[in-house]
Each structure stands twice: as structure tokens, then as C-alpha cells.
Amino acid sequence: MASGRYTRIDARGKSSNYCSTIVVVVIVAACLVGAWITMSSSVDPTGYVGMSVGKDAKQHIASEKSSREFEDNSGDLPEDSLKGNIEQASERDESDSKSQENENVVQESENSGESGQQEKPEKSGSDEDERVDANKEKEVESAKDEDVKNAEEDSNTGGDETTEKIKQESEENNDDSKIKTDEAEEKSESEESSEGAKEKTDDSKLKTDEAEEKSGSEESSEGANEKIEEVKDETDSQSQEQVSTESESKDKAELLDETSTQTGAWSTQKAESEKQKVSEKSSDSSSEDQKAYKWKLCNVTAGPDYIPCLDNIQAIKRLPSTGHYEHRERHCPEEAPTCLVPLPEGYKTSVRWPKSREKIWFANVPHLKLAEVKGHQNWVQASGEYITFPGGGTQFVHGATRYIDFIEKTLPDIAWGRRSRVVLDVGCGVASFGGFLFDKDVLTLSLAPKDEHEAQVQFALERGIPAISAVMGTKRLPFPSNAFDIVHCARCRVPWHAEGGKLLLELNRVLRPGSYFVWSATPVYRKDDENVAIWKAMSKLTKSMCWELLKIGKDTVNGVSAAIYRKPMSNDCYENRMKSEPPLCQESDNPNAAWDIPMEACLHKVPTDPSERGSQLPAKWPSRLDKTPYWLKETEAGVYGKAAPKDFIADNKHWKRVVADSYMDGIGIDWSSVRNVMDMRAIYGGFAAALKDLKLWVMNVVPVTSPDTLPVIYERGLFGIYHNWCESFNTYPRTYDLLHADHLFSDLKKRCNLKAVMAEVDRILRPEGSLIVRDNAETIAEVESMAKSLHWKIKFTFSKDNEGLLSVRKTRWRPSEVETIRSAIA
């Protein structure tokens, strides 16, 4: 068409005259000036000129939305601005949101309209010497119209991938979008170039809004759960694409208040350096990640139940003695394993709480020995493809609920779920006692060794009941002093009276002053010689420890009795004893030192200073959860640098906001399927506190290299444990639904093999379980790379200002290559 026009003008060129040539020059110059003005008006005033639009632009737009939606400090506490004017923050973020929308419109208009405008001056200039007849003005106008039309056709067929994709989505979901698109194109063809560009800009914005609105409505109708379940056969690139889809569908105003943290407001995506764009850098590196980390399957005697620090068979064989249960204690291999534990054959997604309290899949814990030995006591029974739990125990054959009510009836001051909130159950069996105490709003940490009672703690955790594998042997329990409201033992098979009462003295260390020890065992009510001798020895020991025997209750239904003791709240009794047996501990003996510390047969004094922890009972539940511990001093700095009480309050507010505004909606976690949770670096327990209204429990872990804040966690009515993450945790494989790591991995990189840490995370986490990581951008990138190599699904990843948030989901993938762990082979 252009060739024909140019030929016709050449044929008539001989009749041109000087005057007409000047007219042409003037008209063309006017067109150039008009086009230049139009182009200048579409340029971003911040200098954001010539940005390429297409797939990269779409990622840019999605990331900008994510930055507003999930922006939050990755673990530091809010500044004093946390208490500032929220309305001002909202106005500022709303203004930023509008500004970003305008930027998106400009980018699209540059691609669709500007390309045509830039071509027009070139074509007009090339025709200048050829338009020489008397009708040249009319033909110039005709050429302009045709050029605009051609430019738009080029743009629609490949120039603007973002606009085209939006149009395709709109056509699939809404015919009205297609009609508006066609109308807009027709309108742009019939108008001047400047007006056409403006109209196309408005239309692009309209189509974008409609596409986002449609996408949001589809997600709400079909549910985010559908996306989360589709994890088994997806590629890593599809997972990354899902991240962007979920981010785009969120409400922009959801997290307006979440920028008020210590590190200040997050920078824009435009201002990020290449190093900080972890999400973009890692999105296309799936195959490289899988090659960078090579994983193997653990070949060990314990098979799918491998616990590295409890199954170090070679170290156990070298022990000089096992008379104090040394063989049940931790013996970690010199190098933490980096292999992956195999799945049991036929493994299934765990039964959800509360049904899991009554039954679990046999395939997940395929052990029958305990059912054969304890089935008559209603501990556990085999029932087809399930293992069932009638709710009984050795001391409560007719059910835990009746037994729990019996204890409170014996001593009403126990007041389950009000005064007594945190319980330690020693020798727990399958933890039915703790499982049914949930109905009383009581948290029970069940404790039992990995012994001949096959997989009892594994049964407990698969049921959704808190438990750890541990033994009362030669080392202190990994808990602070004066922590538990009640310690319970029902036929726990612990020789409390032996060796000067060393084991009972360890319970005295962790029991809160003024709180109770409930002992339901045969020496309390049986009169044979052995039981009578044990009762006499226990009576002598408890009296010398100044424990007061409050009452012995008889459970006529279960045919058992329970003795209830109380620990003193003063040192008067200790000072007035006729004999100092057991002796008082040395002043240098720190009762809070609990990690890998040998037990001592001595009594720690009770705190008596009113400002000292343990001198007062905590407030009743649930008010104690948010109440600042009375022993936090204004003159002492907290973990984050503020005065300790303010530090605590700020941390509490911070996690409530993060959980409500970020974690609950938008990072790819189905909270209805979450029961067993672990906070791998808990600090004050703010994360666990923010989850209190959900039907779950949180194991708060305080790393041994972190500030000792575990006493604060217990004061709040929560529980936790000390641990060294360079070693394996005392739990069975596949026992937690969600792990949370706040600035943990960046610290561990300095001390541990990070690959071994990820192997441990994989061991603990259930298939389909989630890991949330908050850390610096470099660490986020490294963990994300490892997760991809493990074939995990990336549900959400975001980094800005060198801080990042990552949410990943474990799959059932296991490697085919095998690695034999010599230390774990019998």
C-alpha cells in the first residue's frame, strides 16, 4: 500500500513548484512538533523513560503490588513510630498506590501508543520531497491515518505482551472486556495521534483493573486451597508463576500499617539493587539449583524413624555404662547428616485434628508392638488401616477425661486452664493425658524416651499432641528453672527416690514455686512390700525437699490413687531442716543452665525477692499471655535494645500484626491443615502468642546461642525448649506441619553446615508441610535454592532492602541414590 502511494507521488513530481514544497515542509514540521509534545507528555516525571514492557514489565507490576502487600521488617522490632498516627501511614501508602497505578498506565501507553508515534515522523520525513502536487495536504493526512493504523496493528501483534495477555484473560473471562478493547481500537484509529495515545492509555488501565478484579473473584470463588493442593507434579517455574498470581490478587490496602518497623519503609522495586532482587534472580534457576545440591537417601537401621542424635548406634556401643539411661540420651554424630530420611511405604497425609486424637493412619506409624502390649489398657489399638486411641492409659483405663476431672476434684486449686496452664507429663505413653487436657485449655508437653515402648512419642505427635523424645538420665532437662505449673507422672517408671533423689530434684528445678507435682503410681495405693518400700523412701525424700503432701485422692472408677505435692514458695523450710540432705546447690550453680549440663543432687533456693522471677505466681490464663512479666526491668535492655518491658510489648504487637496481615492470607499456607508448629527461634514467643486462637500448638525453640528468653515464654503460659540447631532435634521424622525461622539461618551459616540444617528441616517437616523463613536477602536466596533442589514448592518469596520473606512447601520427593550412615548401622 505504501509502495503504491509512493509510486503515484513520484509520477506527479515533475509538476511540483517551489511554493507547494514550502507548504509541505511547514505541515511536516508541525506534525513533528506535535508528535514530540505528545511523546514528552507520556514520559514519567521521575525519569522512568523507555522501560521495556512485556514479561519483565508484568513481573515489575506484580512485584510492586507485593511490595506494598507484604512489606514488613523481617524480625526487628517496631520503632516508637509503631504508636504513631496510622491514618497518616494509610494516606501515604494510598498515595504510593495511586502513583504506582499511574506508572503502570504510562508504561503500557508507551508501548502501545508511543511506538506508533515514533514511526510517524520518520515516514512523514521520508515523504517530504515527494508530496509536490496541489492535493499534497490531503494525501499527507491520508498517509498519517494509514501509518497510525499500521503501527497499532504491529503493536497488537507483538509489541505489547502485557496488554495482549490482559486482553486474552479478559476475553476468556468476560466478553465485555473484548467489546471494550475493540471499541478502543476503533476509536484510536479515527483520532489524532495524541488523542489516540491518551485514549489507549485510559483503556489499558481499564482493562488491567478489570482483569485484576476478575482474577480476584475467581480466586475467592474457587478458593486458594485448590492452588495449594496442586503441588506434586508442578514444575518449579509453575510454582514461581503461582507466587505472582497470588500476590496480584491481594488487596493493596491490606498491609498499610506494616511498614512501621525498625528498618523503616521498604524501598520501591525500581530502587532495588540487583543483589536484592532475589525473587527475580532465582525464578529462572530451578534446574541449576537442583544440580547445585545433590541429595541422597539415608541408609540407617532405624529407617524412616531415624533420629540422628538418638540413633547413633556406634557411639552407644562405646558407652562405659547404661545404668543411668545413658543409652537413651543424646549422642550426636560428629558430622550432622545431609541425607534425607525415607518415607514409610504407603505414607498418607496425616489425619486432621481433632479426629487425629482418636485415630491415625497405620501406614504413617507402622508399629504394632505397643498395641499388643498395651491394648488391654486402652492405650492404642490396631483397627484395619488405622491405629486408634480409645483415650485410656495405665492409670486411666476408662478414659483420660474422667481422670483429669478426678485430679481437679481432689485439689480444686489446680484449676485446669486458669491457674494451671503449662504441664510437663513425664513418661507420657501415647500422651492421651495431654491430648485431652486441650479441652481444658491446658498445654501439656509430653516426655518419654525412645525405648522398648515402640514409637510412643511418634504416636503422640502424629495424633497432634506435643511431645519430645527425652529421658531423665544424667543430664538436666532442656528447660529453664521454675517453669511448669504442674509436673505429672502416671506410672512413669522413673526411680525418683534413687541416688539421693537426683531425678526428683531435677523436677524440683523445673517446677514453679507454689506449684504441684501429681504422682499417680502404684506405691501411692498398693500395699505389697516393694510398693510400700518405695512409698516410704519417697515420703522421706519429699519431706527433706520441703514438698508438702496436700492430698491423696482415690479414683474409684479407674481403681487408682494420686498424691499431690506442692513446692514451697520460701526458703524457710530449707534453712530449718535438721539435716541438709539433699544439700543446697552452690551459689555458682545456675539453675537456668540446662543445655548438656549434668544433674546434681542438690536443691536450688527459691527466689524470694519480689522483683525476681519465680517469687510470684503468674496471672491466670489467658491474661498472662499478653501481660508483661513483672520481673522485666526498665533498667535492663531487651533483645532488640529497648527497655525490657517495652521490648516485650513491641515484639508482641509486631507479631500480631505480621501474623494477621501477612501469614494468615497470602503466603500459600492452608492454616486449617496446620496443627503441630515449631518456632525455631522464638525470642519472646510473640509468634506463638499471635496464633493462640487457632486449633494448634507451637513448640518454641530458643537456640543455645541466642539470648535466654525461654523463661519469658513459660511466664506467658506457653512452652518451649533449648536446642542447638547444628544438631538434630529430639523428635521423630515427619512430625511438624509448619516450621518458622526468623533470622535463624543467617546465624547458623556462621557455625553449621547449612545443608545439614536443611536436611534436618526436611526430616522434621511432614510432606505437604510448610517452612516460613524471614532473613536477609542473601540467606533467603540460599534457602530458596536448597528448597528447589529438594523439589519443594515455592509458595511465596519476596525481598527488599536486603530483607526477605520465603514460604515453601515440602513435597514427597525422595532421591534415588543412597548414602549409608555408618554411625547409625547396627
Taking only the tens place, the pLDDT of each residue in 512-544 is: 999 999 999 999 999 999 999 999 999 999 999
Judged by phi (left if over 0) then psi (alpha if -120 to 50, else beta), residue 636 lies in beta
pLDDT of residue 625 exceeding 90, the answer is: yes
- pLDDT band of residue 272 (cuts 50, 70, 90) is very low
How do 422-426 and 484-490 pair as beta strands?
parallel
The predicted structure's pLDDT at residue 109: 40
Predicted confidence (pLDDT) at residue 155 exceeds the cutoff of 80: no
The full DSSP string for 756-814 is: HHHHHHHHHEEEEEEEEEEEEHHHHHHHHHHHHHTT-EEEEEEEETTEEEEEEE--S--
pLDDT at 372: 75
Q: Residue 505 pLDDT > 90, yes or no?
A: yes
pLDDT at 493: 84
Residue 328 has pLDDT above 60, yes or no: yes
What does the pLDDT average to over 310-324?
Answer: 96
Residue 165 predicted with pLDDT over 80: no
Cα distance between residue 246 and residue 239, in whole Å: 11
Nearest to 407 by CA among 527, 551, 525, 524: 551
Question: What's the pTM?
Answer: 0.70
22-31, 369-378, 436-445, 653-662: which range is least confident on average?
A: 22-31
User: Residue 746 pLDDT more than 70?
Assistant: yes
Residue pLDDT, tens place only, 39-86: 544 433 333 333 333 333 333 333 343 443 334 444 343 333 333 333
Average pLDDT, the chain: 76
Interval 739-750 mean pLDDT? 97
CA distances from 3 to 6, 10, 143 (A): 5, 11, 12
Predicted confidence at residue 26, as pLDDT, reads 63
Residue 214 near residue 170, CB atoms below 8 Å: yes
C-alpha 506/C-alpha 487 separation (Å) is 11
CA-CA distance, 456 to 523, in Å (whole number)?
24
Q: What percent of the chain has pLDDT over 70?
A: 64
Give the separation between CA 462 and CA 769, rounded to whole angstroms.
13
Under the banding of pLDDT at 50, 70 and 90, the label for residue 383 is confident
**Sign of the alpha-carbon torsion through 20, 26, 32, 38:** negative
| Least confidently predicted of 186-195, 637-646, 744-753 | 186-195
* Mean per-residue pLDDT, 685-701: 98
* Per-residue confidence (pLDDT) for residue 20, from 0 to 100: 55
What are the distances in angstroms from CA 645 to CA 360, 652, 743?
A: 43, 11, 22
Q: Is the per-residue pLDDT at 402 higher than 50?
A: yes
606 secondary structure, DSSP code? P
Three-state DSSP state, 475: strand
Which one has a higher pLDDT value, 556 or 171? Answer: 556
29 or 366: which carries more pLDDT confidence? Answer: 366
| Helix, coil or strand: residue 518 | strand
d(CA 776, CA 418): 40
Give residue-wise pLDDT tens across range 90-144: 333 444 444 444 444 334 443 444 444 444 334 434 444 444 444 444 444 444 4
More confident: 450 or 193:
450
pLDDT at 36: 58
Confidence of residue 392 (pLDDT cuts 50, 70, 90): confident
pLDDT band at 35 (very low <50, low <70, confident <90, very high): low
Per the CB < 8 A criterion, the answer to whether 362 and 382 are in contact is: yes
Q: Is the pLDDT of residue 310 over 90?
A: yes
State how far the Cα of 319 lies from the Cα of 325, in Å rounded to an integer. Answer: 11
Report which of residues 253 and 733 the model is more confident about.
Answer: 733
Stretch 665-672: mean pLDDT: 94
Instruction: Answer with the residue of higher pLDDT: 104 or 29.
Output: 29
Residue 456 pLDDT exceeds 70: yes
209 Rama class: left (phi>0) / alpha (psi -120 to 50) / beta: alpha
Question: Which residue has 528498618 as its cell numbers?
Answer: 263
Phi, psi of 338, deg, nearest 5 = -115, 10
pLDDT of residue 380: 85
Q: 464-481 pLDDT, tens per residue? A: 999 999 999 999 999 999
CB of 524 closer than 8 Å to CB of 535: yes
Nearest to 70 by CA among 269, 229, 239, 234: 269
Residue 642 pLDDT = 95
Instruction: Answer with the residue of higher pLDDT: 279 or 707.
Output: 707
